[in-house]
Amino acid sequence: MSNDSLPSPDASPDTSSISFTALYTGHVWAANGLSAPAFRTRMGSFYYHALAPFEYIGGKIAGGNIRTFLLQRHYLIDHLVTRAIEEEGVTQVLEIACGLSPRGCRFTAKYPQLKYIEADLPEMADRKQKLLAQADALSPLHQAVALNALATEGPESVESVIRESFDADKPLLVITEGLVNYFDLESINHFWVRLRATLAANGGGMYLTDNYPLLHDHPFYRTMKVLRGMLGTVSRSRVSFHFGSDAEAQAHFEAQGFAPVTVHNPKDYYDLLPMPRSRGNPFVRVIEGRV
C-alpha cells in the first residue's frame, strides 16, 4: 500500500462482515418488485421477516424505518442514473459493493448499449457472477469483478478495475450504495480522494453515493445514534454518520475536488418517483459529485 492512501490504523480492509446487510437489503429489493428471482435468498428472507416488528415500530415512532430509507435511496439513485444515461449519454457504469443489487440487471436490460460492471469483495463478486448467469443477465458488457474499496494497489483496487474495465476516453458513472457508512470518515475519505483522482485521469465522470447525515436539529437525533449502535452490533461493523448537515456534506466533497456537488433529499422527489415517504425530513441523502 502507498503511504499517502493508507486507511486509518484501526480500519480493516476486510468488509465481509457487511454480508448481513447485503442479504437483508437484497430481500428488500426482491420484496418490492425491484429484483430478479435469482437474487432471492433464504437468509435474506429470514432477516427481512425477523426485523419486521422493529421496522413497524420504527415507522410509527420515527416516521420512517430502514426499509423506507433503503427504498428512497434506491429509487433516487436509479433516477439519477437514468438521467445520466438518457440526457448526458453515459455508457459505462461501475457499481461498487454491489451485493445483491438488482440495478445492473434492470439497467442493462433497458439500455443494451450500457457497459455495467458490478464489483464487490472476491467471494461476493464470484457469487454475483454466478447469479447473473443464472438470471441470464451475464454478457461481455455486464460482469461482476473483485474490488476492495480500501485496497490502494493490486488488481482489486479501484484504480486497477477502472483502468482494466472501462474506456478511458469516456465518462464513467460510479455508484456506492450501502457502503460508506460502514467506515469512519478518515478511512472512506481516502477512497473518495483516490476515486476522484482516477476519474479525473480517465475522462471524468460522476459519483453517486448514499449518506445518512446525523442532522443535529432533527427531532430523532438521539434515535439515530441508538440505531447506529444497533446496526453496528448486528452487522459486526463500525457504523459512522459522517456529516451533521447537507451543507457540511457538500463542502466536504468540494474540498476533495468534486465539482459541482449536489446533495439530493428524497422528499424533493416524492411527486416524481414511486418511493415511500417519511414523516418529516428523511434520514437518507444521495450525494452527486462531478469530476
Q: Residue 191 domain-assigned?
A: yes
Q: Residue 185 domain-assigned?
A: yes
Q: Residue 56 domain-assigned?
A: yes
Asked whether residue 278 carries a pLDDT value surpassing 90, the answer given is no
| Count of structural domains, the chain | 1
**195 or 221: which leads in pLDDT:** 195
**37 or 6: which leads in pLDDT:** 37
Question: Alpha-carbon distance 179 to 161, whole Å?
Answer: 18
Q: What pLDDT, on a 0 to 100 scale, did the predictor assign at position 7?
A: 32
Buried b (16+ CB within 10 A) or exposed e, 75-99: bbbbbbbeebbeeeebbbbbbbbbb
The mean pLDDT value of the chain amounts to 83
| Bridging pattern class, strands 285-290 and 205-211 | antiparallel
pLDDT in tens, 200-232: 999 899 999 999 876 555 555 555 555 554 454
pLDDT in tens, 107-153: 999 999 999 999 999 999 999 999 999 989 899 999 999 999 999 99
Interval 154-177 mean pLDDT: 97
Nearest in space to 227 (alpha carbons), one of 99, 98, 68, 12? 68
Show the 3-state SS of the chain. Answer: CCHHHCCCCCCCCCCHHHHHHHHHHHHHHHHCCCCCHHHCCHHHHHHHHHCHHHHHHHHHHHCCCHHHHHHHHHHHHHHHHHHHHHHHCCCEEEEECCCCCCHHHHHHHHCCCCEEEEEECHHHHHHHHHHHHHCCCCECCEEEEECCCCCCCCCCCHHHHHHHHCCCCCCEEEEECCCHHHCCHHHHHHHHHHHHHHHHHCCCEEEEEEECCCCCCCCCHHHHHHHHHHHHHHHCCCCCCCCCCHHHHHHHHHHCCCCCEEEECHHHHCCCCCCCCCCCCCCCEEEEEEC
Phi (first) and psi of residue 128, to 5 degrees? -65, -40
Q: What pLDDT, on a 0 to 100 scale, did the predictor assign at position 235?
A: 45
Look up the CATH number of the domain holding residue 94. Answer: 3.40.50.150
Q: Residue 5 domain-assigned?
A: no
Q: Residue 149 domain-assigned?
A: yes
Q: What pLDDT, on a 0 to 100 scale, did the predictor assign at position 14?
A: 39
Q: Residue 162 domain-assigned?
A: yes
pLDDT in tens, 260-270: 999 999 999 99
Q: What pLDDT, on a 0 to 100 scale, did the predictor assign at position 8?
A: 34
Range of the domain at 87: 16-290
Q: What pLDDT, on a 0 to 100 scale, did the predictor assign at position 18?
A: 41
Give whichever of 41-45, 69-73, 115-119 has the largest mean pLDDT.
115-119
Q: Residue 230 domain-assigned?
A: yes
Torsion of CA 69, 72, 74, 80, to 10 degrees: -140
Count CB-CB contacts under 10 A for residue 49.
11
Give whichever of 89-93, 135-139, 228-232, 240-244 has the largest mean pLDDT.
89-93
Q: Reading across the β-sheet that carries 172-176, which strands appear in turn?
A: 142-146, 115-120, 92-96, 172-176, 205-211, 285-290, 261-264
Poorest-confidence range of 13-17, 94-98, 102-106, 122-126? Answer: 13-17
pLDDT in tens, 46-66: 665 566 555 555 555 555 567
Bridge partner residues of 208 (DSSP): 175, 288
Give percent of the chain with pLDDT exceeding 70. 76
**234 or 52: which leads in pLDDT:** 52
Interval 64-78 mean pLDDT: 88
Q: Residue 7 domain-assigned?
A: no
pLDDT band at residue 233 using 50, 70 and 90 as cut-offs: very low
Longest dimension (CA), the chain: 50
Cut 0.95: pTM above it: no
